[in-house]
Structure 1
Amino acid sequence: MPTPGDSSTEQARPVLGHVNLMVDTLIANAPPNELRAFLRDTLGSTDPSVTGTLLMVARRHLERTNATALPTAGTLFVQSADGGGWEATGELSATLARSRTFYGAGMGLAALAVLTEVVKSAVGLRWEEDSRMEAVLAEVDEDLTQAIQSAKEEIDGGRVPEAVQARMVHDALRQALLEDKKDVESWGGDFPFGRALPSVELWKV
């Protein structure tokens, strides 16, 4: 039977709050796609509680780093060089990726707050049918529906301390969608958020 000072016992006991030097070297140097593969394989082959821990740590990190700051107005879309339409900027791509990080981590309300700013920025834009801009806005519509589902789970999971916070996010998004719908109808376009608006209106907060 090993004694309290037995080196084999100490080596077998995991050290919490510390990343092994070699593992840290792996994390620092492996390509992002390889890290994603490692992570997916790990989560798929371990106890479900590991996934819960990962999400908890992710949420804590995102909250601590102020990642939920809203995008700056006027940076998501620009007029094309020929002045004939609008184009998405790299800032929009980064903003959508950030919103996906939020709702993937179970922070649906934070994701919706960010996506509401995207919807507001779309007011006044014009685009042609089957254009790249129409496709980009369809992606936003998909993100909105995913974030709404994440927000519902966030609320049901008891991670929203005050219901008023959820209502404010819900109402702001609904208002932005209605404003965009009115604007698009004024020039005869197809409303790009046809899935998100019904989802918001059916969502009782």
Structure 2
Amino acid sequence: MISTVEEVQQRMGHVNMMADTVLLNASPEDLRAILRSMLASKTPGLVSAFMTSTRARLLYQQPAAGTTPVKCQPFSSETAPQLQSILTRARLLYGTSPLLASVVRSTLGCRWPAEGTVADVLAVVDGDLDQALQSCREELTQGDIVDLTAARKAVGDLVAALESSRLDVDSWDGEFPFERAVYSARDLRL
């Protein structure tokens, strides 16, 4: 049975001295290789435990400063690092976070040219949205979704944000930037 986020948090703490020593002293490249090898081992429940632990850490930790989009401003050169921080956090949460929906909502009321920096940034966001939905689809297929209700809520929130954005962009005859995400969302059935 898959553990809940709360159960995982209760078990966390000092893992053991050997594991803590490895975690403190291994290079990031070594840690990535070790983690990939463990996850590829096909040990029953390991991937689910990894996903649950990751979400427990990231969802219940205070977001870093600058990870909340500011309306119409994540696209300027001054706030580009803020948008990158938001996208990084959303990627770590495998798209289950409301962060990507908030990025979509931050475009409401904004206008941008069909080509240029803003259009390029929004194309990256569209790719991240598409990838997040694909990851969600894979988790569903593999039975790795821990909280189906939360997943439905997150996807519903994202779909609502995409619909609002499409209506807004249509109102000023702009080019809707999230086409891939819309098609992925339509194909996802939770």
Provide TM-score, normalisation by structure 1: 0.67
User: Are 2:23 and 2:31, in contact at CA under 8 Å, matched by a contact in 1?
Assistant: no
1:196 pairs with one of 161, 181, 189: 181
1:109 is aligned to 2:109? no
Instruction: Please name the residue that 1:150 is paired with.
Output: 135
Instruction: Please name the residue that 1:164 is paired with.
Output: 149
Q: Structure 2: which amino acid aligns with 1:102?
A: L
1:95 is aligned to 2:94? no
**Bigger mean CA offset, 88-97 vs 134-143:** 88-97
Shift of 1:67: 4.1
Greater RCO (CA < 8 Å, at least 6 residues apart): 2
Alpha carbons of structure 1 residues 87 and 121: separation in structure 2 relative to 1, 3 Å: farther
TM-superposition CA deviations, 1:106-128 (whole Å, max 9, x none): xx423xx2211111111112112
Shift of 1:146: 0.7
User: Are 1:76 and 1:90, in contact at CA under 8 Å, matched by a contact in 2?
Assistant: no
Instruction: Please name the residue that 1:9 is paired with.
Output: none
**Bigger mean CA offset, 146-155 vs 162-171:** 162-171
Instruction: Please name the residue that 1:74 is paired with.
Output: 70
1:180 is aligned to 2:180? no
Shift of 1:151: 1.2
Distance 1:79 1:193 in 2: 15
Q: Which segments of 5 or more consecutive residues in structure 2 lack a partner in the other structure? A: 1-14
SS at match of 2:162: helix
1:17 is aligned to 2:44? no
Instruction: Please name the residue that 2:121 is paired with.
Output: 136
SS at match of 1:192: coil
User: Are 1:88 and 1:133, in contact at CA under 8 Å, matched by a contact in 2?
Assistant: no
Q: Structure 2: which amino acid aligns with 1:48?
A: A
SS at match of 1:116: helix
Q: Structure 1: which amino acid aligns with 2:105?
A: K
TM-superposition CA deviations, 1:142-186 (whole Å, max 9, x none): 011111111122233334355433322222111110110111111
Q: Which has the larger radius of gyration?
A: 1
Instruction: Give the number of aligned pairs.
Output: 172
**Bigger mean CA offset, 187-196 vs 87-96:** 87-96
Distance 2:105 2:17 in 1: 43
Shift of 1:48: 2.1
Distance 2:159 2:137 in 1: 15
SS at match of 1:130: coil
